[in-house]
Structure 1
Amino acid sequence: MQLERRQAIIVLDYGSQVSRLITRRIRECYVYSELVPASTTLAELQAKDHLDIKGFILSGGPSSVYDEDAPSCDPAILHSGLPVLGICYGMQLMAQQLGGHVELKHGTREYGPATIEVVADAEQDYATYRIFEGLKPSPEQTTHLDRPAQHTPLRLPVWMSHGDSVDRLPEGFKVLATTESNPVAVIAHPKGMIGFQFHPEVTHTPQGKELIKNFLFRVCGCEASWTPEKVIDETVERIRQQVGKERILCALSGGVDSAVAALLVHKAIGDQLTCMFVDTGCMREGEGEQVAETFRNHLHIPLVAIDAEERFLGKLAGVTDPERKRKIIGEEFIRVFEEEAVKLATEQGKISFLAQGTLYPDVIESTSHDTANTAKRIKTHHNVGGLPEEMVFKLVEPLRMLFKDEVREIGLELGLPEEWVWRHPFPGPGLAIRVIGDITKEKLDILRKADKIVIDEIRRAGVYRELGQAFAVLTPIQSVGVMGDGRTYGNLVAVRAVTTGDFMTADWARLSPELLARISNRLVNEVHEINRVVYDITSKPPATIEWE
């Protein structure tokens, strides 16, 4: 069966910290998008038969267009006749490659909040450019007494982060908006080429999503067709084409990602699937029981549970480097699956495929070349960069191009219980990367108790769904304390809670002092090895959500 070509917006990544957010914002509008290296050519993109490219977005980035080694854009993309939106560096690059000029002007530098104002003579061109159509004036905007309200220029709060500015426009372009310090904040060409000096993809630009929608639907002519139902149908068909009549194992971790991957595979090939839960000894309290209950009794999908605690902890003994932990766990997972696949093989044939819940952010953070050659590897995810080079399985990764919010929507559509869908993410290496330093069973037991207390209190406070992730971290620090008039020398535990929509960026959660006090009180009273609690108030970036 020939899969239908999907409409797509291609985002070229020039190294911005928030390039991935552009892709996610597009997906939120139910339009498919892919993030590709800045060096990708139009010919390479057109060779992807599954894509019906409707437009391009050039991301921001740390370079200056006049630098000797500055990344560029394939000229064929800019002359393709398809709409192009340049953001920050992307706008400057588009202007420079089409004959304009960019330079560093200290008076036009802008970092942080700013307000753009649509220039008076651009108002008549709304029908041509359509990028501002339907947007609402900023709340503080007032009507001038000396002219009718309909002639008041549109003013919008935005988020800026640039030093360079366009000081000469390419032929055919005009300025659509300015700021108080920058006369070139938005530029456009009647053929659908638009430049924003600000960042519409960040939440600090309040109507940024509406601007992106206008580009998608009014400029590029996209349809909102990348729906959960469409994703399910397409993914199921791809799995069938990849797997055929062969059998497949699916690795379950207890999180929503692997659960949704299993449901998609089961929908595609039914009884050819066997799910497997491997208890590494690094799982949360009650994890194995919950996985078994959900899959065997609620979803009626075959499940094999493996107790491999001794094996994994033996391999991890004495290991303190987080990257080595991830590599060891990733390889050992595969070895366990390979051994179990041999045991499960019957007259129906061997098991050739392994399915896992790899997400788009996992891929992005684990590699510096898979999606964007300007991006740097942040950490190895055990199920991406942590996999061994040699293994007998062929991988099936139905969620590889999806963000977390998309996965949750699909999970609900497939009938996964809401409690499971909205569980906070749990890393594949489990508590191994929440015990800082070397790992022992004793330390894991301490952390299991601590983590359960943190989650119990967050649920009791009614804020669990408001948080993207929350957990405890056992640090290698010990400190002096006093309990019952006696001296103690116990462990320091850190509590981490963040708010996030995409897990590419995150902010520390402003939990109430009362909630933090209850958590701290229970930790030191109920887990006798703990005598000090701290709360992590670092955002991502500069930190990551996990400590390792």
Structure 2
Amino acid sequence: MAEQILILDFGSQYTQLIARRVRELNVYCEIHPFNKIPEITPDVKGVILSGSPCSVRDAGSPDLDLDAIRGKLPLLGVCYGAQLLAHKYGGEVLPSEIREYGRANLDHVDLHYDLLKEMTHGSQVWMSHGDTIKTLPAGFDIIASTASVKVAAFKVQGETTYGIQFHPEVTHSLEGKNLLRNFVVHICGCSQDWTSDTFIDSTIDALRTRLGKDKVVMGLSGGVDSSVAATLIHRAIGDQLTCVFVDNGLLRKNEFEEVLDSYKHLGLNVIGVDAKQRFYEALAGLTDPEAKRKAIGRVFIEVFDDEAHKIEGVKWLGQGTIYPDVIESVSVKGPSATIKSHHNVGGLPDFMKLSVVEPLNTLFKDEVREVGRALEIPEAIIGRHPFPGPGLAIRILGDITAEKVKTLQEVDHIFIQGLKEHGLYDKVWQAGAILLPIQSVGVMGDERTYERVVALRAVGSVDGMTADWIHLPYEFLGKMSNEIINRVKGVNRVVYDISSKPPATIEWE
């Protein structure tokens, strides 16, 4: 088992970002809800307590027994985690006189402490808290301060237990990665040997042991996650894997044929299934986004089950589930109220009677791409923008018809090809077009028109948790607008979405 850092989540919006930063140091880590702590095994080298939207002063605020950790393993409390340490052991946490949010500078940094090695006086950090630590418990030493926050960081005497009031995981904390390196590498003693190559070798070995001579069936989407997962399983068991690629009528233009061709070059055994009509019939009249997702999921399972029954002796279902899907399916207070239905977590109906194998369920999206490149999967697949499981159904606002799908496919094709031809595709994390449920007045030639509006969306991101709109050149946007309106019948207006996530999501539904 790889050595790891355990991150206990109190519900912070930044918890996944802490994990990302630790992984960037080539150290494996896992996130677990604070109230579902796994067994502390010898491979756990240290523990990080996350932030939280809660206050330690509130009745019922997140709490946990730290006796099994404190003084036995290195421990770092971040924001709420630091306040919890102070509060539990006799310190005083009070509401901040001025809400401390945004950039601040460490005007006192005690460089004698391992956590702060090689950091600089005046180092910029990111604060995000409504409470502050006013007094520390006995035996807790202040090791860093800002002009307005006396206890910006502390250490417990005689222990490798630390607390910080700022967030080292966000890029606004300019030396935050250095601080995390100090904790993970120098204090916890992690060897930084968790790489794509070691992941591939250990995963393939584990798959061979787990699957043996059993047969596996897997649904492919053409995307990065399912392609990398299928390749890993194929490397482990070869032709015991059968893949199914379903045309649900909601793919991009020519995608079904192009993806099938690319999989042939990977040596995968892939069955292509044209099920467009079944999906259109199931979606007829549906307008609610979640209803559309559920209908698509239901029909996909039906189609997939039909194909799986044609393969004799199948015992396993392969899935491209990645780590954010797993994390988002369990909140710090139990299952999330609404999980997007296209997440692959727990989506297997009882009647299929298959065990699930998910070789990527510990990786973030960018790590999946790194593994894919190490596996020498073509860049056309690895560099492909994320595409939602329900496809164009959630980029068509309102009900779904074959005519609407064809219209959006044409618009999307012009936009995506334009990005590629102008050298912009690889500078964008995800892009697509949205067909809006409104019409607008226009003029074409001497005629007045009343036709559809489409929105173009292009965002930059690392893993989809946060995203910002891309400042595409005006000349390019103008060219795309002209081409779409001139070439796609029924569209007379093009708009560009300049919303960031948060508060907007990447997809419109």
Same-fold call, TM cutoff 0.5: yes
Aligned pairs for 1:77-92 within 5 A? 77-92=68-83
CA RMSD of aligned residues (A): 1.8
- Judge conservation of contact 1:361–1:503 (CA < 8 Å) in 2: no
Task: Tell me the equivalent position of 2:115.
Answer: 131
- CA distance in structure 2 between the aligned counterparts of 1:315 and 1:18, rounded to whole angstroms: 38
- CA distance in structure 2 between the aligned counterparts of 1:485 and 1:206, rounded to whole angstroms: 58
Task: Tell me the equivalent position of 2:193.
Answer: 225
**Alpha-carbon shift at residue 382 of structure 1 (Å):** 4.6
- Judge conservation of contact 1:54–1:83 (CA < 8 Å) in 2: yes
Task: Tell me the equivalent position of 1:399.
Answer: 360
- Judge conservation of contact 1:40–1:74 (CA < 8 Å) in 2: no
Task: Tell me the equivalent position of 1:9.
Answer: 5
Aligned pairs for 1:143-154 within 5 A? 154=121
**Alpha-carbon shift at residue 312 of structure 1 (Å):** 1.2
Counterparts in 2 of 1:486 and 1:441: CA distance versus 1, 3 Å: same
Task: Tell me the equivalent position of 1:498.
Answer: 459
- CA distance in structure 1 between the aligned counterparts of 2:413 and 2:297, rounded to whole angstroms: 25
- CA distance in structure 1 between the aligned counterparts of 2:122 and 2:9, rounded to whole angstroms: 29
- Judge conservation of contact 1:15–1:375 (CA < 8 Å) in 2: no
Task: Tell me the equivalent position of 1:272.
Answer: 240
Task: Tell me the equivalent position of 2:39.
Answer: 45
**Alpha-carbon shift at residue 451 of structure 1 (Å):** 0.8
- CA distance in structure 1 between the aligned counterparts of 2:502 and 2:212, rounded to whole angstroms: 42
- CA distance in structure 2 between the aligned counterparts of 1:258 and 1:249, rounded to whole angstroms: 12
How many residue pairs end up in the alignment?
508
Aligned pairs for 1:309-348 within 5 A? 309-345=276-312
TM-score by length of 1: 0.89
Per-residue deviation, residues 349-395 of structure 1 (Å, max 9, x unmatched):
x1121112111122333x244x7749664533253365445433222
- CA distance in structure 2 between the aligned counterparts of 1:186 and 1:301, rounded to whole angstroms: 53
- CA distance in structure 2 between the aligned counterparts of 1:14 and 1:219, rounded to whole angstroms: 23
- Judge conservation of contact 1:255–1:420 (CA < 8 Å) in 2: yes
- CA distance in structure 2 between the aligned counterparts of 1:341 and 1:291, rounded to whole angstroms: 20
Task: Tell me the equivalent position of 1:521.
Answer: 482
Task: Tell me the equivalent position of 1:111.
Answer: 101
Task: Tell me the equivalent position of 1:364.
Answer: 327
**Alpha-carbon shift at residue 325 of structure 1 (Å):** 1.8
Task: Tell me the equivalent position of 1:21.
Answer: 17
Aligned pairs for 1:198-209 within 5 A? 198-209=166-177
- CA distance in structure 2 between the aligned counterparts of 1:466 and 1:376, rounded to whole angstroms: 34
Per-residue deviation, residues 388-418 of structure 1 (Å, max 9, x unmatched):
4543322211111210111001101111011
**Alpha-carbon shift at residue 521 of structure 1 (Å):** 1.6
Structure 2 runs not aligned, ≥5 long = none
Per-residue deviation, residues 307-361 of structure 1 (Å, max 9, x unmatched):
010111111111112112222222222222221122232xxxx112111211112
Note if 1:532 corresponds to 2:493: yes
Counterparts in 2 of 1:509 and 1:375: CA distance versus 1, 3 Å: farther
Counterparts in 2 of 1:360 and 1:28: CA distance versus 1, 3 Å: same
Q: Of the candidates 344, 347, 354, which is equivalent to residue 383 of structure 1?
A: 344
TM-score by length of 2: 0.96
- CA distance in structure 1 between the aligned counterparts of 2:232 and 2:184, rounded to whole angstroms: 29
Q: Of the candidates 18, 26, 30, which is equivalent to residue 30 of structure 1?
A: 26
Counterparts in 2 of 1:245 and 1:374: CA distance versus 1, 3 Å: closer
Q: Of the candidates 437, 448, 456, which is equivalent to residue 398 of structure 2?
A: 437
Task: Tell me the equivalent position of 1:239.
Answer: 207
Q: Of the candidates 356, 381, 389, which is equivalent to residue 420 of structure 1?
A: 381
**Alpha-carbon shift at residue 80 of structure 1 (Å):** 4.7
Counterparts in 2 of 1:481 and 1:426: CA distance versus 1, 3 Å: same
- Judge conservation of contact 1:14–1:71 (CA < 8 Å) in 2: yes
Task: Tell me the equivalent position of 1:259.
Answer: 227
